[in-house]
Amino acid sequence: MWCGFGKSSMIIGAACVVTASVMISHTTFAARQRNYTPEEFRAVLRGLGYNVKVTNAPLTDEETKKAIREFQTGYKLKVDGVAGPQTQDFAATIVQILQGNLNAVLKPKTPLPRDQFYTHRTEELVKEYQKKNQLEETGIANLALRQKLDKEAKEIINQPATKPSPKPTATPTSTPSPKPTATP
């Protein structure tokens, strides 16, 4: 092995460190990229308030490309109508934040996993939040709803933890000492 510990060359040691660093950074970067199926990405777009039909057809129809361009414009991404890695990663992050905020505000019995998918369960909790706030129950987390939810979640998260109040301890009471009785 060329990175053996028996070699004393600093150059070989440095090469080993650099090679290992490059391999780790490539692995980390690859793990961050999202790979949605067309159906999953359309579900995310629809769930975030963009007008698309959820199908598994390629993301090349004009309706979907228009929704992708609107998403990219709204989040100041490169506007090309293509759901590339940057667009998918950004969408995934938004869904994860939404899921975390729903968990914090609604405190569901079974919390949402913080993943990249806008599932039926996510939609159900969005409807629950809409009902709680007397909004139309669409299951769509448009920008206005996400901003309201984000503000509410921040207030909950930033509240100081309630400290238990100290319980009063029993105060010792003096017991009367026996009085000496007079002897006749």
What does the DSSP assignment read for 55-97?
-SS-TTSHHHHHHHHHHHHHTT---SS---HHHHHHHHHHHHH
Q: Which residue has the higher pLDDT, 17 or 69?
A: 69
pLDDT band at 172 (very low <50, low <70, confident <90, very high): low
pLDDT of residue 111: 94
Distance CA 82, CA 60 (A): 8
pLDDT of residue 159: 79
pLDDT of residue 107: 95
**Counts of helices then strands in the chain (DSSP H, E):** 6, 0
Q: Which residue has the higher pLDDT, 103 or 181?
A: 103
Distance CA 102, CA 122 (A): 8
Q: Is the pLDDT of residue 35 over 80?
A: yes
Instruction: Work out the percent of the chain whose per-residue pLDDT is above 70.
Output: 68
Contact 45, 58 (CB under 8 A): no
Nearest to 117 by CA among 57, 36, 175, 59: 36
Per-residue CA distances from 135 to 20, 99, 138, 145 (Å): 53, 19, 9, 9
Q: What is the DSSP letter of 169?
A: P
Distance CA 67, CA 87 (A): 12
Q: What is the DSSP letter of 134?
A: T
Neighbours of 132 (CB within 10 A): 11
Mean pLDDT of 118-137: 96
- The two structure tokens encoding residue 58: 């390629």
Distance CA 67, CA 73 (A): 10
pLDDT of residue 33: 53
Tens digits of residue pLDDT in 81-92: 999 999 999 999
Q: Which of 7-21, 59-73, 107-121, 142-156 has the least mean pLDDT? A: 7-21
Q: Where are the alpha helices (DSSP H) in 120-173?
A: 120-132, 143-158
Distance CA 48, CA 60 (A): 19
Q: Is the pLDDT of residue 11 over 70?
A: no
Tens digits of residue pLDDT in 140-162: 999 999 999 999 999 988 877 66
pLDDT of residue 16: 41
